Structure 1
């Protein structure tokens, strides 16, 4: 019996080590790809350059992501999942609507308007002529995922009686629009730089205050 337990423990350790190695390699590839896209743009970032930076083979990229477009989609998905998970965590912490939206807004602005993510957005746009499906994929795993999380949160707040909303889906669109539309477009075309920490906090506060003036139930 003791030998069986030892054998199972060893097998589990090997399994954990293999998984950790797999995830470390995956993260190394994503980090290398993001850094290169920031430096050189999507079109000028080759798989060979990514392999050299990440110390991996092309077969590793194919194994983890399928191709260069799949790698780009994975980079987008990471940001959206982080935002969705953060919003869910804030909800479970039973924070007020104001605190939750403010924390979410600051995190979203920081993650989406930084230089690395802007490079990913530009990469997606530049790859559309060669791969028209990359656009819908970007939206689905990126903005679509974050949008769905906000919609779910607003639906929960309607049931709790903290917000008056006829359409949580539209409200999620509106909130995202207030956060990103003008600023994101300006950064994509190079008309604005990434916001400072002070600018993030100021803009997040303005957006949340504007949104809650329209939809929060009066105390």
Structure 2
């Protein structure tokens, strides 16, 4: 059934927050940029944000420091680029949820499985480690990630729950709250375990089974039915 009252797409950026530094991203340099991002993911995961040096990243990726500075500006710009890529990939899974013709349980299980895959990528783990370890020292970076990577995802979930409630396939009285609860139920614990090294991409199959069980708990609750 088509949505007769389409909701406006949630904003991707908060006007009150500055965008990440402008960088030079030319098509002929896309391969080099990807190599820098891959190398940065490895170095950040191995050494942490503070101990990671741009020279270490260049050594693994090839190229030069001058090329890295032209592409990203500095180490913070490199982290922003890494976050942007991860946010884009994660957002695609929820965009697919909005387009899904499946009943809510199947659609949400599929979305949860895609979320698990993205959360356990090395790049996303690196982003979460940086945000959590550097949150107090670099609140602007922490708040940027939350504004661009968490709030828009919850807005997409809220939009889905609102649409399904209007269609009569779900009954949720506070879709914004439900979106936050769903987000944390599915990936909150996953984030904590991945940043401390207890799980990684090798654990995706079990993590997806756990996510599907969490979807059922979210939809059915725990109280006995009369």
Q: Same fold (TM over 0.5)?
A: yes
1:112 Cα deviation from its structure 2 partner:
1.1
How far apart are the structure 2 equivalents of 1:146 and 1:87? 7
Which of 60, 69, 87 is 2:67 aligned to?
Answer: 60
Q: Which runs of 5+ in 2 are unaligned?
A: 1-24, 222-226
After superposition, the C-alpha distances for 1:177-197 in whole angstroms (9 at most, x for unaligned) are 11122332243334x323623
Residue 47 of structure 2 is matched in structure 1 by 40
Matched-pair contact (CA < 8 Å) for 1:86–1:104 = yes
1:73 Cα deviation from its structure 2 partner:
2.4
1:33 Cα deviation from its structure 2 partner:
0.5
Query: Larger Cα Rg: Structure 1 or Structure 2?
Result: 1
Residue 220 of structure 2 is matched in structure 1 by 213
Residue 173 of structure 2 is matched in structure 1 by 166
Residue 5 of structure 1 is matched in structure 2 by none
How far apart are the structure 2 equivalents of 1:91 and 1:126? 33
Which of 198, 211, 214 is 2:205 aligned to?
Answer: 198
1:115 Cα deviation from its structure 2 partner:
4.5
**Partner-residue secondary structure (3-state), 2:101:** coil
How far apart are the structure 1 equivalents of 2:190 and 2:97? 25
1:124 Cα deviation from its structure 2 partner:
2.6
How many residues of Structure 1 are paired with residues of Structure 2 in the alignment?
A: 196
* TM-score (structure 1 length as normaliser): 0.77
Residue 5 of structure 2 is matched in structure 1 by none
Residue 7 of structure 2 is matched in structure 1 by none
1:174 Cα deviation from its structure 2 partner:
0.4
Distance 1:154 1:58, change over 3 A: farther
Distance 1:146 1:127, change over 3 A: same
How far apart are the structure 1 equivalents of 2:207 and 2:216? 14
Residue 7 of structure 1 is matched in structure 2 by none
How far apart are the structure 2 equivalents of 1:129 and 1:91? 35
1:87 aligns with 2:91: no
Residue 28 of structure 2 is matched in structure 1 by 21
Matched-pair contact (CA < 8 Å) for 1:72–1:124 = no
Residue 187 of structure 1 is matched in structure 2 by 194
Residue 114 of structure 2 is matched in structure 1 by 107
How far apart are the structure 1 equivalents of 2:99 and 2:136? 42
Residue 96 of structure 1 is matched in structure 2 by 103
Q: Please provide the CA RMSD for this pair.
A: 2.4
How far apart are the structure 2 equivalents of 1:62 and 1:142? 24
Matched-pair contact (CA < 8 Å) for 1:83–1:104 = no
* TM-score (structure 2 length as normaliser): 0.75
1:132 aligns with 2:139: yes
Matched-pair contact (CA < 8 Å) for 2:41–2:122 = no
